[in-house]
Amino acid sequence: MQALDVCRNAAEHGIEMTFVTAQGGVLEDDFRDTGVYFERFERKLPIDLYLASKLRNLIKQRNIDIVHGYQPVDGLHLYLASRGRKGVRKVLSFQGFIQDRKNRLTAKFLVPRMEANIAVSRGLKKWLAETDNLDTANHFTVIYNGADPKRLKPSAKSIKEELGLPADTLLAGMIGNFYREPRKDQLTLCRALPEVFSTVGNVHCVFAGGIENGAEDKFADCMGFCIEQKIIDRVHFLGTRSDVPDILAELDVFVFSSLHEGLPIAVSEAMLAGVPMIVSDIEPLLEASGDGEYAEVFPVKDHSALSKKLVGLLDDGDARAALAKKGRQFAEERFSIQAHMKSLLALYNSLL
């Protein structure tokens, strides 16, 4: 989604963009509709020299100055494709922690060979140095992810109507997939809900996000807890959704309970949509919340503290409105696509 927002806003910021993918996906039509030059190739091997040669030809044909990959496997093929081509600068982004040894080794090879490496938060940059042993001292910069406010305009659709809820129902929610790795922490939010429901009567909670292969047990734990606590009628697992703006438009509180992040787009989207937010106190989310000035913060995995934060906001409409206003202003300055593009363009210009 970050790459899609960049493509949609490239021309406005004076960047002639070529977008290349080595596989299809649910967003392919959206990328084709951005107006940027689009190519879809196929990667048939982990290191596909034929793909690298096609990329090399494209770089020459399109007179490309900068190649920018968003994952180590992309970066490796772009490195091979641009190697020896005078004047072509190489950039690699890190959106989150590196999932496996193969990608960590690839990243370690690539980082010193890039003209620039991007981490999406200071917390992630620190993690990459301390946990993944990457050299972040040189050619490394922090550019925050940014969401496009135009994309966040809701339709006339109502999630409350879909769920059969009265219009005056208070709605808390979390948007994020169930991942196999220790990333999102939906279970802590589930554990916070019994106290919330017993204190604030007219509240429901929604979870929007798919289930990654291997994460089925995490979803089952959440579902099982809600059934055991007899709150399942007030908790709604929506699965993968394409109508995030419509969901955000009806949330009274957005919760992002997490164990590890880079800088999640979902947080930027919620703040830009004007939803008051509660986040766990991991370093990247503290960055996103201005160390708790623009969002409520709770200790990671502490469901009792989260319950108290939720009850406090759900019981106080004025506090919600004030926090939402502050958060939106902060996000427009730091986490909008305009802020992201400004920083990205400055980096590109410095390389050229």
What is the CATH number for 19? 3.40.50.2000
**Are 120 and 161 part of one and the same domain?**
no
Instruction: Give the per-residue pLDDT at 317.
Output: 95
**Are 168 and 201 part of one and the same domain?**
yes
Which residue segment(s) compose the domain that 121 sits in?
2-146+337-351
**Are 234 and 157 part of one and the same domain?**
yes
**Are 184 and 301 part of one and the same domain?**
yes
Looking at the chain, the whole-number percentage of residues with pLDDT higher than 70 is: 100
Instruction: Give the per-residue pLDDT at 233.
Output: 97
Q: What is the pLDDT of residues 146-193, one digit of tens each?
A: 999 999 999 989 999 999 999 999 999 999 999 998 889 999 999 999
Task: Calculate mean pLDDT across residues 279-306.
Answer: 95
Whether 99 has a pLDDT exceeding 90, the answer reads no
Phi first, then psi: give them for residue 82, nearest 5 degrees.
-100, -5
Which H helix or E strand runs over 145? none
Q: What is the pLDDT of residues 39-68, one digit of tens each?
A: 999 999 999 999 999 999 999 999 999 999
Q: Is the dihedral of CA 71, 77, 78, 84 positive or negative?
A: positive
Length of the chain: 352
**Are 213 and 91 part of one and the same domain?**
no
**Are 321 and 344 part of one and the same domain?**
no
Task: Calculate mean pLDDT across residues 273-301.
Answer: 95
Task: Calculate mean pLDDT across residues 222-237.
Answer: 97
Contacts 24+ apart (CB under 8 A), 90-93: 90/66, 90/114, 90/115, 90/116, 91/66, 91/67, 91/115, 91/116, 91/117, 91/118, 91/347, 91/348, 91/351, 92/68, 92/116, 92/117, 92/118, 93/68, 93/69, 93/117, 93/118, 93/120
Beta bridge partners of 19: 38
**Are 283 and 310 part of one and the same domain?**
yes
Note the pTM of the prediction, 2 decimals. Answer: 0.88
Instruction: Give the per-residue pLDDT at 97.
Output: 80
Instruction: Give the per-residue pLDDT at 80.
Output: 97
**Are 75 and 93 part of one and the same domain?**
yes
**Are 177 and 301 part of one and the same domain?**
yes
Task: Calculate mean pLDDT across residues 273-293.
Answer: 95
Q: Token pair for residue 72?
A: 């180590």
Confidence of residue 297 (pLDDT cuts 50, 70, 90): very high
Task: Calculate mean pLDDT across residues 6-29.
Answer: 94
Instruction: Give the per-residue pLDDT at 181.
Output: 87
CA distances from 87 to 82, 96, 299, 318 (A): 9, 29, 47, 55
Q: What is the residue type of 294? A: Y
**Are 312 and 342 part of one and the same domain?**
no
**Are 312 and 200 part of one and the same domain?**
yes
Confidence of residue 267 (pLDDT cuts 50, 70, 90): very high
Could you give the number of structural domains in the chain? 2
Task: Calculate mean pLDDT across residues 85-98.
Answer: 92
Annotate 25-56 with DSSP letters as a single string: -TTHHHHHTTSSEEEE----SSS-HHHHHHHH
Confidence of residue 336 (pLDDT cuts 50, 70, 90): very high
Q: Token pair for residue 21?
A: 């993918």
**Are 341 and 271 part of one and the same domain?**
no
Instruction: Give the per-residue pLDDT at 185.
Output: 96
